[in-house]
Chain A
Amino acid sequence: MLRNLNFQDLRQKLGFAIDNRVRIITAGLGIDELRAVLRGDPPTEKPNPRFKVHTISFLFHIRPRYYQKGSTILAHTFRLGFMTVLFYAIELITGIVLMVYYVPTPAGAYASILEIMSEVPFGNLMRDLHRLGAEATVIFTFLHLLRTYFTGSYKKERSFTWITGVILLGLTLFLSFFGYLLPWDQLAYWAVTIGTSMAEAAPLLGNEVNLLLRGAPDIGAGGLLRAYLLHIILLPLLAVLVLSIHYYKVAREHGISLPARYEEGDVSPEVKKDSKRRLDFLPDLFSHEIYLTILGLFLLLLVTIFFYGGAPLENIANPQQTPLDTKSPWYFWWLQGMLKLGDKSLMGIVIPTLLVILLFAVPYIDRNPYRSFVKRPVAVSLGVLAVLVLILLSYMGLPQYGIEMPAATRIVQDMSPEEGVGPLQDVPYDQLQQGFYIANETPTENLCPDLDFGCPEFEEFFSLFTDRVNEAIDSGALENGDAVIVTENWQQDLKKVTMRITWDAPETGDRKTYERHIYIHRNNQGE
């Protein structure tokens, strides 16, 4: 029987069988064809099996069959839409990993974040990636919108796509915003308190909306659970739905817009024709997407590990204590800035709502049929103006702008903020030598004769403190001001630093004191 066995035949049969299996998985691409795709070679069979894939496979069916060559120029799209989706995917994956350990209760949330940071292998990396990825998603979504606006790609058949895009921008912001609350630290708690309190200013339904979001007059267990469910279920589902519509319009209906110069510019017919040449999804677009994915992941990882100080985690949320300098997440600073301009209802609700409606209606307001910069001067200059105003408003939204704080409080807060690190925390632990350091009395040099290398960082800190106090005295904010820093050894590896400023109250002439005690442990340094 063995003698009858034809090895040539067997090999062929075996190869055929394997090839068949592969074709089932790849929706029609054989082994040779697959290799050709990956190498960027032309198709090996006729008719082109790469087109068949788009009919048979669901995942390829929702992808474009081709884009026009001119529309894929890097300087035209900057791949911003793709990057947004990539970061959405990264958020999804890291988010699922974090969900394994996260507990959405006030008693458990903060502890579970601590656990993720110190007990879960790669847990901190996942958290940092998730945090940084969220910032990147917001940034890329916004940049994608700007690109679309400035290239005039929202016109005619793309106007509905623009609307879905604006919805996606909103969903991205809210996804990020409700995720912000989940670590349940002071930063999260008060940022979200500020954010949801804006809803309160809404006419008629304000209180109800606020109550619905928070689950109680103040954010508590109910509010945390609601934010959690919005963050992990409702908003992601909505985002997937709207993203599908958005993407399908681009991939299957109108494609990516051609740069305006090919459509309406003064270019030769050959160039125009070349720009409309088809780039097939397989292999060109697909391979490029894989490359972009690798590049995006690499860069994110690089930045997260080597350049990112770690996702912030302040002290556990304390509803009884509003920290100084509370602020909303950075992408809502512009809203905070607007609130400082006037009435809460008008600036916090009415005008932002009008702005959102305006953003939705851009394709319908702008009836100018042209897309190139020079032919739409009004739209372009309005766009630039809007970006500048947004930046200005964001600056005004910072707590340092327009919020008056007593001089002594401001100085101490700047030296050692209630949350996070300030100049005091940058002083190495051993340089905090016991003693009284009195502003304008203790010399600011040679403060630590007992230390071999002195204490340059502490001296710098002390003279900074003295300068700030003197500045305030000169400006009249601290009349007859005295200031002292007391450093004490408190326990092993624990020091207590007292900053005390006394001054005469302007009206009554009473002696006033502001004092803060800061405890510093040796192992909580060098962050």
Chain B
Amino acid sequence: MSRFNLEILLGIILVSLTTVILVVYGFNEEDRMAEAGETQHARAIEVGAGLYENNCSGCHGIKGEGILGLCPPLNDAEFFTTRLKEVGWSSSLEDYVISTVSSGRTTSTRPDQFAGQGSPAMPAWSDEYGGPLRPDQIQDITTFILNWESTAIEGVVIEALATPTPSPEEATDPVARGQKVYLDRGCSGCHTIEGLSAGTVGPNQTTIGTLAETRIPGMSAEEYILESILDPSAYLVEGYPDNVMPKNYNDLIEPDQISDLVAFLLSLR
């Protein structure tokens, strides 16, 4: 067989093979596209989870459980079933979340329960409205938030990781317990303690233990901090407006937790 004829033969075989490959690939294409869509959705959730942790968890809770007095939960049945009717939103929940996250909220819709962090109650997050996030990032956060639907209304249960029993040292140390209260009860969402939290709504507390000693003449540091937690309007740090910090921590936090919190803040010098 001459080279010429061999090439004709091989050429015909290869064209047939190529056609077969393409046809088989084509039959599988619908499934592949669907799978690619799912992967992209999964990736959006992963990215959204990271963004949520960095930007939203300080106020809305690390797992979207909300913080009473501050920001509403995003992972409960109410959010997925009645919230749209409550605010009179006619479009989808996804649009509602995107719109709220993008432009924020000037005043709270439930000021008695969730006052937000002042005015605005929730800042605008989209860079189109002066916030730090791009639209695609807000889309990813929304995809992540909507992924709570199955646990919120479909009865799926996600067991949380059991926290290890605190070491004896931690359990008996009010400062360590107070730090946990500080982180768990939303203080870190608004206040900065260098190396621990980075909120900018309220005054910096990195050295509050020292500052509190001299803030009000005749008042001890301990008394001042306690007063500021229970009655935030009693003394206002310059540059920070009144009526931003919730005034009902007396009801929200157990008395012994408050004393732990005070002990922790006193230790910041």
Q: Which of A111, A283, A287, A298 has the most C-beta atoms of chain B within 10 angstroms of its own C-beta?
A: A298
Q: Is the CB of B18 within 8 A of A298?
A: yes
A121 to B27, CA, bound (A): 10
Q: Is the CB of A121 within 8 A of B33?
A: yes
A520 to B50, CA, bound (A): 11
**Contacts known (A287-B4, A294-B15); A492 close to B46, Cβ less than 8 A:** no
**Contacts known (A40-B2, A111-B136, A287-B7); A494 close to B21, Cβ less than 8 A:** no
| In the assembled complex, B164 has its CB within 8 A of some CB on chain A | yes
Q: Is the CB of B7 within 8 A of A288?
A: yes
Closest to B38 in A: A523
Instruction: Pick the contact of B10: A39, A291, A491, A493 (CB < 8 A).
Output: A291
| In the assembled complex, A251 has its CB within 8 A of some CB on chain B | no
Instruction: Pick the contact of B5: A40, A120, A491 (CB < 8 A).
Output: A40
Q: What number of A residues sit within 8 Å (CB to CB) of B? A: 50
| In the assembled complex, A330 has its CB within 8 A of some CB on chain B | no
Q: What A residues does B43 contact at CB under 8 A?
A: 521, 524
| In the assembled complex, A122 has its CB within 8 A of some CB on chain B | yes
Instruction: Pick the contact of A295: B14, B30, B40 (CB < 8 A).
Output: B14
**Contacts known (A284-B4, A305-B25); A519 close to B164, Cβ less than 8 A:** no
In the complex, what's the smallest C-beta–C-beta distance from A344 to chain B, in angstroms? 31
A275-302 vs B: 1/0 string, CB under 8 Å?
0000000011001101100110110011
A104-131 vs B: 1/0 string, CB under 8 Å?
0001001100100111111011000000
A488 to B162, CA, bound (A): 9
A290 to B8, CA, bound (A): 9
Q: What A residues does B161 contact at CB under 8 A?
A: 434-436, 486-489
Q: What B residues does A119 contact at CB under 8 A?
A: 33, 37
Q: Which of B36, B45, B135 has the most C-beta atoms of chain A within 10 angstroms of its own C-beta?
A: B45
Q: Is the CB of B21 within 8 A of A305?
A: yes
| In the assembled complex, B32 has its CB within 8 A of some CB on chain A | yes
Instruction: Pick the contact of A520: B21, B46, B144, B160 (CB < 8 A).
Output: B46
| In the assembled complex, B87 has its CB within 8 A of some CB on chain A | no
B128-160 vs A: 1/0 string, CB under 8 Å?
000000111000000010011011000010111
| In the assembled complex, B171 has its CB within 8 A of some CB on chain A | no
Q: Is the CB of A491 within 8 A of B21?
A: no
A301 to B24, CA, bound (A): 13
A232 to B155, CA, bound (A): 52
Q: What A residues does B164 contact at CB under 8 A?
A: 436
Q: What A residues does B10 contact at CB under 8 A?
A: 291, 295
| In the assembled complex, B76 has its CB within 8 A of some CB on chain A | no
Instruction: Pick the contact of B159: A111, A125, A434 (CB < 8 A).
Output: A434
Q: Is the CB of A124 within 8 A of B36?
A: yes
Q: What B residues does A520 contact at CB under 8 A?
A: 46
Q: What B residues does A519 contact at CB under 8 A?
A: 45-47, 49-50
Q: Is the CB of B156 within 8 A of A492?
A: yes
| In the assembled complex, B111 has its CB within 8 A of some CB on chain A | no
Q: Is the CB of B148 within 8 A of A491?
A: yes
**Contacts known (A118-B36, A434-B161, A494-B46); A316 close to B63, Cβ less than 8 A:** no
A399 to B197, CA, bound (A): 33
Q: Is the CB of A124 within 8 A of B7?
A: no
Q: Is the CB of B37 within 8 A of A494?
A: no
A489 to B159, CA, bound (A): 7
A453 to B53, CA, bound (A): 33
Q: What B residues does A287 contact at CB under 8 A?
A: 4, 7-8
Q: Is the CB of A110 within 8 A of B49?
A: no
Q: List 24 A-B contacts (CB under 8 A).
A: A110-B136, A117-B40, A121-B26, A121-B29, A122-B26, A122-B29, A124-B36, A284-B4, A287-B4, A287-B8, A291-B7, A294-B14, A295-B10, A298-B14, A305-B21, A435-B161, A488-B161, A489-B159, A491-B49, A493-B147, A517-B50, A520-B46, A523-B41, A527-B39
Interface pairs A-B: 10 shortest CB-CB: A521-B42, A523-B42, A40-B4, A524-B42, A118-B36, A519-B49, A291-B7, A118-B37, A519-B46, A492-B150
Given A110-B136, A121-B26, A519-B47; 9 other pairs, CB 8 A cutoff: A107-B136, A114-B40, A118-B33, A120-B33, A122-B29, A284-B4, A298-B18, A301-B18, A486-B161
Contacts from B to A (Cβ < 8 Å) = 2, 4-5, 7-8, 10-11, 14-15, 17-18, 21-22, 25-26, 29-30, 32-34, 36-43, 45-47, 49-50, 53, 63, 134-136, 144, 147-148, 150-151, 156, 158-161, 164
